[in-house]
Structure formats: C-alpha cells, structure tokens
Structure 1
C-alpha cells in the first residue's frame, strides 16, 4: 500500500502547479489580499478537476428544500457556500488532513490555512497523476491529450539523481552504525544510574530508621535525666529538713551544755554552790543532766543520719553522672560515624553528578549531530522540491521511510537526554536531602551538649553547701561535665 503525506508547498509552487495544470491562473497578490470569492472559486475549480463536484450541478437545488424557506432568492449564495463547504469537508476527511476545515475558511479565509488546504489537495493531484503515469505505458503517457503537461523527464539525469540519493542513504546508514555504540553506552550508563538511585533510596530508608532509633534513645535518656533530677531534688529536700531539725534552737542547746559542764566540773569541790545555782535556775540537777545527755545523743544521731544521706545522695549522683557521660560519649561516637558515612555518600553523589554531566554533554553532542543530519535532510528536500517528478514513487517512499527512521532515532536520543536530566535532578535532590540530614544531626548533637551543660549548671545550683561555704562536688566531675 502506498504512503501519502502532506508536505506544505510554498506559495510559488502552488501558483506554478495551478498554472501548469490549467486549473486556475492566480498571482501572489491574490494570496496576500485574499478574498472569500477568490477562495470559493479556487476550491470549486479544484473539486471539478478532481471530479468531486459537477459543474452542471452548480446553483441547482431541490424544490423540497426551497419550499421550507420563505425567500429562497435571497439565500442562493448561502446555499452555494454551504454546498461547497459540505463537499470540501468530505474531501478533507477522505484525505485525512491533520488540520480541520471549517466554515470560517470559506467566509473569512486565512492565507496560512488556505495554503495548507491547497497543498493537501494539490499533493493528492500529483499523487494521482504519478500513479496514472506508472500504470499507463510510455506511449500513452506521451500523447497530447494529457491534461497536466509537466514535460518528459530525462532518464540519464534521473539515474544520476537516484545514485546520489542511494549514496546519501548509505552514508546515513553508516552514521547510524557508528553512533549505535554511543547510544548503547548511554543506555548502559542510564541503567547504572537507575541502580545507584535504588541503592541511594535503600540507604535513605536505613538512615530514616537509624534517626528514628536515635530519637527513641534520646527520649529514654530524657526520661532517665528527669528521674535523676527528681531523686536529687528529694535527697536535697531531705538533707535540708535534717539540717533544719538540727538547728531549730541553737541558743538553748549551747546554754544547757555550758551549764552542764560547769555543774559537772565544780560538783566535787563546791557542791553547795552548784545546788544553789541549780535552784537559782529553778531546775532539778538530775533531770537537767539527763535531758542534756539525751539531746546530745539525738543531735549526734541526726548528724550521722544527715551525713549518711548526703553520702548516699553523692554516690547516686556520681553514678548517674558516669551513666550520662557514657551515654553522651556513645551518642557522640555514633554521630561521628553517621557524619563520616554521610560525607562519603555526598562524595559518591558528587562523582555521580559529574558522570551525569559528562553523559549529558555527550548527549548534547549527539543531539547536535542529529540536528546537522536534520539540516542535511531539509537541504535534500529543498533540492527535491523543484523536481517533484524527477524520480519514481517507489524511491520517494524509500526516502520517506529512511527519514522516518532518522526521526525515530532522534526521538530516542531526545528521550535518553530527558531521562539523563531527570536522573541528574534526582541525584541533586538526594544530595540536598543528605546534606540536610547531616546538618540536622549536627544541630541535634549541639542541642544535646547544650542540654547537658544546662543540666550540670542546674545540678551545681542545687548541691548543698558545707560549713566552709563550698559546694560538695568532686572537681573532676565538674570539669568533665
């Protein structure tokens, strides 16, 4: 089955073909200042030439259609335009014209659209004429009653032209074979990039799980820190209560102690004076002594309890401090490992981006080569346009098939270029997400260090103060915090 396409003819070619085929005599000015009457007359002549419209039927209508209108004389022109529009619509649909023909193209025509429709009809005329010339014998085709007088072509020039076309087709085939390894290499690189993207996605999922685990561990550590703070506050409160119990009435205790010492020291030599002094205070000497001894024992027990509570609180604080230091060291080491891993991933992504840029540059070079091939095709088409009948229809179909193959190859290379661009974009997004995650981990480490410093400062404020006015905390633990 023969192929038929619609190359848009230039205005000069349309004028020359219409003049040579004796369809109509038109000028360039008619297309510049195009009018509806000119377009309708030209389409009518073309339909008559294609036997799609009878010249005798022009202006004749059925009585049944005219009876439905009150003044049919006023609408004769509209009837003719609608009849012509219906025939042209059928012709364009049968030719499968890509541009849709509407009523505006007859009433208010556009030069560009009119040239497109005329190119479609004239190409069909040429196609029909070539098939007739191929079917008839050379003697019958050379008779004088032929409607289109394009002249007799020289066989020698046609053979030379065909040889040139064959040579150009062979050159295109060699170029395609030469560029085939490059295309295969680009496809292999694209596959490698796809695999690397899958690896990056898996690494991203693993990083997300590790970040989730770190968040859970941070929550557990915050809970432990809050529990330790609560225990420390309770121990400090108990210590303060014990100290308040010890120092409730220091003046009375000191006076009673002094009286007891004086009474015991002077009891052997001057007992009367001691008794008189005791009577002076209106107290029983035995009862006062027992009370003083009992109070001294209670004070000693309270002091021992306070010291033991303070010692236990200090030991628990040191244990929790060691635990926090070990947890912080562990998280710091994990953060360093993650940061080094992210840095290695960023370097690998940068290398992949550089390779993708090189692949994109190669694709651009291949696209430029294909553009040169397209320019060469257009030049060959320009050479072929002045001589539409210089070679047979079979050779024309072969050239068209080669051109379609070249267009398909160009489309394939363009698809590869777009795929490389998308892969480059994805690698850039992966690199940005990795950098953002690294920055997030760094900020999280700094936040942990800051919280630990604030916690150490708050613990320093809550520690008890001894008699000399110094905090009872190991200096080594404070410097390590």
Structure 2
C-alpha cells in the first residue's frame, strides 16, 4: 500500500534530533552516522521497530526455537536475531515504499549514505504515524465529547419532553377548570340579571308604598284636625245648652248627626290607621325582604367580584398558556436545532468510524502483507537453513579431507625438505668440486691491443 508521506532529504543533525525525540537513549553524533557501526545501526533499527510495535515478546522465544533446529546453535546465536531484524526491516521498508533495497550488508557493514536513507525513511514514517495517531486521538477525544454532548442533549430532550407532557396535562386540567368557571360565570351573570330585575320591581313597589303612606299621613292629619274641631264644637254646644235648650236640642241633634259622622269618620280613620299599620307591617316585611335582597346583592356582588378575579385569573392563565405555547414553539425550535446537531454528530461519528474501519482495514492489509512476507521469508529461511546445514555438513567433510590432506602434505613436505637438504648438500659438494676443476683449467682473458 502506498504511503501518503514523502522522503525529504534529512540531514544527519536532523536525524539525531529525531532519534532524541523518539526516545533513543544513546548519545549519537554526526561522526557516528558518518562512520556507522553494526552495533549502532542494530540498536537504532531495533529501537524504531519497538517504537512502531513491530517486535513482539514472542520473537526471542522464536529465535531460541529457531536455534534448536541447528546442529551447532552456538555458532548461530548472533545470526538468527540479525536475520530476524533483516526480515522485519525489509518488510517495513517495503510497506512504506522506501526507494532503497535493504540488504544484509546494511546490517553487517553499514554504508553511511544508505544508512542515512533508511533512517530518514523510518523517521519520516514515525513522524507521519505520530501525526496521524495524534489526529486520531484528537478525533477520538472530540468523538467522546460529541457523545457526551449527545447524551446530555438526549437527557435534556427527555426532560423537556417530560416538561412538555406536564404542561399539556396542566393545560388540559386548566382547560377543564376554565370551562367550569365559565359555566359558573354564565350562571352568575344570569342570576345577577334576574336579581337586578327583581330589585327594579322592589324599588317600584317601595315607591308606591311610600306614596300610599304619604296619603295615609295626610288623611290622619285631616282626621286629627276634624277631631279638634269637633271638640271645639262640643265646647261651644255646651255653652249654647246653657243659653237655650231649643237651640241645644237642635244643636244636639245636629251634634248627634255630627257625632255619627265623626264616628264614621273615626271608624274610617281607625280603618285608615289599621290600613296604615298593615301598610307599615307590609313596609317592614318589604324592608326585611329588601335587606335580605341587599345582603343577597352584596353576596352576588362579592361573587361578581370573585368572578371578575376569576376572569382575571383566567386571563392570566390564558396569557400563561400563550407564553407556554410560545415556550413550546421555542423549545420545539431548539429541539429541532439540537436534533440537527445530534444528526451532525451522528454523521461525524459515522465518518470517524468509517475512517477508523478503513484505517483498520489498511493496517490489517499491511499486517497480512507483512505476515505473508514473513511467512515466505520464513519458508525461505527454512530452505536456506536446510541448505546451510547441507553446506555445513559438506564443509565439515571438506574440512576433514583438508585436515587429512594437510597432514599427508605436511609429511610429504618433511620428506621433500629432507631430500632438498640432501640434494643441496650434494649440489654444494658438486659445486665445490666443479669450482676446484675450473680453477685448475681457468685461463686469463686476452689483452686488447
């Protein structure tokens, strides 16, 4: 899989800074990178693989298990970890599309330029991986925050729904109370109208009774005046009786007639007085009734006032209901807004989950590729191990032959040396003899003219 990062030219000082940043404990200098040693590059590569979590705890056990296969494991104690590191480095560099091919020679006899290339590739990948992991961590943190906000919004939404349900229940109850109070108000208005009509009729009757009482008072005053006049006439008649009996007789007759008339008038006055008493009693009863009616009117007035207060309360409740409706509308708008935010959070969560799934799939693919490479490399290593074992066996046989041939050659060399010494002695003896003969027959060279 192609990586999304590039391979910029990183200087050796930058490589040292990156190594310190990624926790490489050893103090590495530029001179160390210019003349890299096997131990240094192995430590750096192992540290970076550990940082990338590519070295498992079972690798050492696998190395020991691999050593058990060899006939002489002591000779391969350092070889198996190196081959394991070589295999992991090849798989990692191939996965990140490194332009260079990592070989065993880069571990045993590292070249400065190739080491710089491989370290730059690994450090670039580590930096890229750290950035991506930080982004994923921040996204995961934001996702957790979004989930918490969503839960808080859902709780608040449930609370608002419960409050809306309570408001609706209260509205229904208050609507029933309002209907009952409106029915009571209508009944009270009808009662007030009837009582007002009754009050008007009572006022008219009272007015009539007052007029009748005035008439009776005038009649009573007239009767009293006539009684006074009759008393004066009686006194005058008594005086006349003393003066003239005839006249007195006539006067008595007239008086009798007048007395009859007075008695009739008195009867009429008594009747009028009784009528007046009856009228007074009637007035008293009417007054009691009017006082009762007045008390009823006051009670009705109080009920009307209470009705007005109830109407005011109903208006206040209606205003409150209107405010509750406005609040419900605003809460519905907020609910729609929060639902939109919740949908956005769900979409972001789905996107993040999809990205995580894709990243997991990519990592799984890389892991499968690395595992397949590891398996193929392991099979190759097994074949090479068998070949190495056969070569080692052949080498042991060759070594045995070489040892036997060396021993034979050494014995032959000894013999040849002895013969050489004997030949040399004979040659020396022969040369001495030849020298003596030549001295005898030596002739001086001719002189030039």
TM over 0.5, shorter chain: no
Structure with the larger RCO, 1 or 2 (CA within 8 Å, 6+ apart): 2
- TM-score normalised to the size of structure 1? 0.37
Normalized per residue, the structure richer in helix is 2
Structure with higher Rg: it is 2
